[in-house]
Amino acid sequence: MSDRFYITTPIYYANDVPHIGHTGTTIFADIIARYQRSLGKDVFFLTGTDEHGEKVAKAAESAGKNPQEFVDELALKWQEYWKKLNISNDQFMRTTLPGHEKVAQELLVLLQAKGDIYKGVYKGIYCWGCEEFKSEKDLVDGKCPEHRPDQVEYREEDNYFFKLSKYIPRVKDLIESGELSVEPENKKAEMLARIEGGVNDLSASRQNVTWGVPIPWDTSHTTYVWIEALMNYYSATKIWNKEGFWPADVHFLGKGNNWFHSVIWPALLLALDLPLPKRVFVHGYYNVEGRKMGKSLGNVISPGELMDRYGVDGTRYLLAASMPYADDSDVSMKWFDEKFNSDLANGLGNLVSRVAKFVNGGSPSKERVALINTYYDNFKLNEVISESQKLVKFVNDYFSSEAPWKLEGDARKVVIDAAVEKIIEIANLLEPVMPESSSEIRKILSGEVPSKNLFMRIV
Ligand code: MSP
């Protein structure tokens, strides 16, 4: 097993601040990065902002700012959010970094030299909300399912094209055989079905978008933002001297980004003769109270709102607990309140203070539950959470039935030690999810710090 682990999140558009969707992906990846570090791996964890293209340029224009100034401000905000949420990314990618632009241009020149780029005319529909060329079958009633109707436009322009179709049979084989592991199974099936439906070559440049990386041999075009954005995963290894980490062990992303990561990106890497990522993990979306989350619906939940209410670890826990794994998941502030109260305030937090009353000095158990490790290895964070809650219940029941307050001497000590040991095991299991609280729990139970209310009940 390699002792290196390279994990990425998508780079998020620097057109707005994060909502819980972006926050969820980043927290999931952070939890896995922390888990991998706990196994002793040398981890490179990358997140960042996607700063070029039409969507970002339009947002800058509406804000009355020049694009560079606009993305500088937003990139800072994203970093501030991640810092507050205790995200342990090793670097933060910004696609306007000169180092990234240079590598992207070098890769484009290689694709051109290989004969995989040609000039043509693009005629068709473009959704600048997705920054994606759409076919009729991608649209529902002529509309993009993810964006406003005014974001979908007919375009006709000279473009450079990438010979995506040439690489499709190999990409298909790699996905089918699992050599490129697209997970979970339903997201893999979706990609294979879309491949079956036929794949055209991909427009790789934009003639009328000036905010982007110029095509090196024809600066009247900029690079199609998705191609350049995907290259960030590779350019990062050059910028920060992490060459030994390539290829990525896993790209984490939400379902809307699946095609780009599981098909287009592997095709580009095949064309470039570069090794392919090992796993692409695609989660579903958070819906809010049964509806898609969106500004126009006014139901966007922001990470700031969650942190104010549940604290940093509470937020991390709740997003992990509601992780949209194979399917979308439905959340609401009511659900978050209830889950916080039952699992953390009444559950783990109460258990710790209950047991702490009897404790001054326990013996931490380093033991991990093998099952939970399998869950982490398979990114099943909601299973990690529910297993930890089973343990909380188990220790609570054990404590009630053994009633150490009625015992004396060794008999009393045996019960308390057993409870402490189990709680420390829970803290260890949840360490990647709630790093601060886990360390607090260990300190409380070893008598290092006085007991306190870890999770204040939401009323
Ligand atoms: N810039 C591109 C990604 C380029 S990666 C080379 C992009 N950015 S984005 O800002 O739109 O972020 C998309 C990502 O945000 C998704 O992959 C997913 O991780 C996350 N989510 C956006 N909405 C979401 C939900 N409603 N629920 C869960 N995650 C969602 O696309």
CATH code, domain carrying 44: 3.40.50.620
The CA 450 to ligand 1 mean position distance, Å, reads: 42
Number of domains into which the chain is organized: 2
pLDDT of residue 141: 85
Its pTM stands at 0.95
Q: Write down the pLDDT at residue 360.
A: 55
| 254 and 105 assigned to the same domain | yes
What's the rounded mean pLDDT across residues 77-82? Answer: 98
Instruction: Please compute the mean of the pLDDT values over residues 336-340 and round it to a whole number.
Output: 98
Report in angstroms the alpha-carbon separations of 45 from 94, 183, 237, 250. 14, 19, 11, 10
CB 93 near ligand 1, within 6 Å:
no
Ligand 1 atom nearest the C-alpha of 9 is 19
Q: Which atom, in ligand 1's list, is nearest to the CA of 232?
A: 6
Q: Is 221 a catalytic residue?
A: no
Domain boundary among the residues 267, 283, 299 is at 283
Q: Give CA separation, 54 vs 169, 252, 344, 414, in Å.
A: 31, 24, 43, 65
Q: Flag whether pLDDT at 25 surpasses 50.
A: yes
Domain match, 277 and 368 both: no
Instruction: Report the amino acid identity of residue 267.
Output: A
Tell whether 456 is covered by a domain: no
Q: Is the pLDDT at 332 greater than 80, yes or no? A: yes
Residue 15 pLDDT > 60: yes
Give the whole-number percent of the chain exceeding pLDDT 70. Answer: 97
pLDDT one-digit tens code per residue, 90-139: 999 999 999 999 999 999 999 999 999 999 999 989 999 899 988 888 88
Q: Is residue 319 part of a domain?
A: no
Q: Which long-range contacts (CB under 8 A, 24 or more apart) does 298-307 make?
A: 300/19, 300/20, 301/19, 301/20, 301/331, 301/333, 302/17, 302/18, 302/19, 302/20, 303/18, 303/19, 303/20, 303/23, 303/81, 303/85, 304/81, 306/20, 306/23, 306/336, 307/84, 307/85
Token pair of 126 as six digits: 């473009």
Could you say which DSSP state residue 140 is in? Answer: B
Ligand 1 mean position, distance from CA 19 (Å) = 10
pLDDT for residue 339 = 98
Statement to judge: residues 252 and 383 lie in one domain: no
CATH classification of the domain holding 394: 1.10.730.10
Over range 315-323, report the average pLDDT.
Answer: 98
Whole-angstrom distance, CA of residue 247 vs CA of residue 262: 14
350 and 414 share a domain?
Answer: yes
Are 70 and 145 contained in the same domain? yes
58 is catalytic: no
Q: What is the pLDDT of residue 84?
A: 98
Q: Do 258 and 339 reside in the same domain of the chain?
A: no
In a domain, 134, yes or no: yes
Q: Is 127 labeled as catalytic in the residue annotation?
A: yes
Q: Average pLDDT, stretch 241-269? A: 98
Whether residue 243 is contained in a domain is answered as yes
Question: Would 176 be classed as within a structural domain?
Answer: yes
356 lies in some domain: yes
Q: Where are the alpha helices (DSSP H) in 340-434?
A: 350-356, 370-377, 381-402, 409-430
Calculate how far, in angstroms, residue 21's C-alpha sits from the geometric centre of ligand 1. 7
Of 7, 11, 12, the one to substitute when testing ligand 1's pocket (max ligand atoms within 8 A of C-beta) is 12
User: Is 189 domain-assigned?
Assistant: yes
* Residue 47 in contact with ligand 1 by CB distance below 6 A: no
User: Is the pLDDT confidence value at 371 over 90?
Assistant: no
- Same-domain pairing of 168 and 88: yes
Is 380 assigned a catalytic role? no
Examine the domain organization and report whether 221 and 349 are in the same domain: no
Q: From CA 9, how far away is CA 75, in angstroms rounded? A: 15
Out of 264-268, 307-311, 419-423, 429-433, pick the least confident: 419-423
Q: Compute the mean pLDDT over every residue in the chain, rounded to the nearest whole number.
A: 94
**Taking a C-beta distance cutoff of 8 angstroms, is the pair 350, 55 a contact?**
no
Average pLDDT over every residue of 163-173: 98
**Of 146 and 173, the one with more pLDDT:** 173
Residues 86 and 218 in one domain: yes
Same domain, 68 and 202: yes
248 within a domain of the structure (yes/no): yes
Tell me what pLDDT residue 251 has: 98
3-state secondary structure of 214: strand
Question: What ligand 1 atom has the least distance to the C-alpha of 285?
Answer: 27
Consecutive H or E run containing 84: helix 67-84
Residue 230 belongs to domain spanning: 4-283
b/e sequence 199-225, b meaning 16+ C-beta within 10 Å: bebbbbbbbebebbbbbeeeeebbbbb
Atom of ligand 1 nearest to the CA of 25: 19
State whether the beta carbon of 285 lies less than 6 angstroms from ligand 1: yes
Annotated active-site residue 22? The verdict is yes
* pLDDT class of 197 with cuts at 50, 70, 90: very high
Measured in angstroms, how far is the CA atom of residue 15 from the centroid of ligand 1? 12
Q: What is the mean predicted confidence (pLDDT) over 350-365?
A: 72
Q: What angle do CA 99, 105, 111 make, to 5 degrees?
A: 140
User: 339 with 272, same domain?
Assistant: no
The answer to whether residues 49 and 13 touch, using CB atoms and an 8 Å cutoff, is yes
Long-range CB contacts for residues 411-416, cutoff 8 Å, separation at least 24:
412/358, 416/355, 416/358, 416/359, 416/362
- Distance (angstroms) between ligand 1 centre and the Cα of 9 equals 9
One domain for residues 236 and 138: yes
Who contacts 188 (Cβ-Cβ below 8 Å, separation ≥6)? 175, 182, 262
pLDDT at residue 76 tops 60: yes
